[in-house]
């Protein structure tokens, strides 16, 4: 249980890849990723409301999700949910009082899109989207499957998300220049229920 709570604390925050975007603007846009702790009652456990947006368009995130952390043997499963009519909650990552309005019936599970995370020593957690090519993403009219690796540390995380053709396994979208590197700007760990 200790590693489970450590992962939750490390994830809780507002992150930016500003340093990376300034260093290599040809390959990396400036992105903000906010993991805001959710009320315990929503998932009967620890969860986050995730917003991912270009830094200049924080009010119009291109990704809004609910994540549910679930212990699974020696690993932690992060279940992924979309939110029906999710636009109504845009901006809630920075207005946490609005998170109480999300109801479980608003959520739709993204099958095949859970992450399986394990401790990597005392200083990191590493994981991937679950195997099996089941996390389907349609982009530019083409069906792809998500391949994603993540490494989470106390004050930073790296993620390398790519979409692959299900027939050829060739990369169709995502970073060709390596993972996005995010640093924690604001810590929300004190908002995690029960900590």
pLDDT tens by residue, 26-65 = 999 999 999 999 999 999 999 999 999 999 999 899 999 9
* Mean pLDDT, residues 117-129: 95
**Percentage of the chain surpassing pLDDT 90?**
90
* Mean pLDDT, residues 159-181: 94
pLDDT range class, residue 2, cuts 50, 70, 90: confident
For the segment 16-27, what is each residue's pLDDT rounded down to a tens digit?
999 999 999 999
* Mean pLDDT, residues 135-146: 92
Cβ neighbours of residue 185 closer than 8 Å, sequence gap 6 or more:
13, 14, 15, 16
Q: How far is CA 166 from CA 46, 128, 150, in A?
A: 33, 17, 21
Look at residue 195 and tell me whether its pLDDT is greater than 70: no
Under a CB-based contact definition with an 8 Å cutoff, are residues 159 and 150 in contact? yes
Q: What is the pLDDT of residue 36?
A: 97
Closest C-alpha among 90, 92, 109, 153 to residue 127: 153
Task: Report how far Cα 144 is from the mean position of its chain's Cα atoms.
Answer: 19
Closest C-alpha among 1, 8, 7, 3 to residue 193: 8
Look at residue 1 and tell me whether its pLDDT is greater than 80: no
Domain boundaries of the chain, sorted by first residue: 2-187
Look at residue 77 and tell me whether its pLDDT is greater than 70: yes
Residue carrying structure tokens 């992962």: 7
Structure-block tokens of residue 153 = 């540390």
Q: What is the pLDDT of residue 193?
A: 83
Query: Quick one: CATH architecture of 2-187?
Result: Beta Barrel (2.40)
CB 107: neighbour CB atoms within 10 A? 20
R_g of the chain computed on alpha carbons = 16
Beta bridge partners of 152: 125, 157
């Amino acid at each position: 249980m200790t590693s489970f709570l450590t992962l939750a604390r490390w994830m809780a925050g507002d992150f930016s890849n500003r340093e990376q975007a300034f260093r290599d603007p040809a390959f990396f846009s400036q992105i903000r990723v906010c993991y805001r702790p959710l009320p315990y009652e929503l998932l009967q456990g620890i969860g986050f409301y995730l917003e991912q947006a270009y830094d200049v368009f924080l009010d119009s995130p291109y990704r809004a999700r609910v994540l549910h952390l679930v212990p699974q043997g020696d690993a932690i499963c992060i279940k992924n949910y979309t939110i029906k009519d999710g636009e109504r909650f845009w901006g809630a990552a920075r207005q946490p009082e609005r998170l109480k309005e999300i109801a479980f019936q608003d959520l739709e599970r993204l099958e095949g899109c859970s992450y399986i995370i394990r401790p990597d020593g005392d200083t990191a957690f590493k994981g991937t989207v679950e195997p099996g090519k089941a996390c389907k993403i349609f982009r530019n009219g083409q069906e792809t499957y998500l391949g994603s690796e993540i490494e989470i540390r106390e004050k930073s995380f790296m993620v390398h998300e790519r979409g692959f053709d299900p027939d050829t396994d060739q990369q169709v979208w995502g970073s060709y220049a390596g993972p996005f590197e995010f640093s924690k700007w604001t810590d929300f760990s004190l908002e995690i229920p029960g900590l």
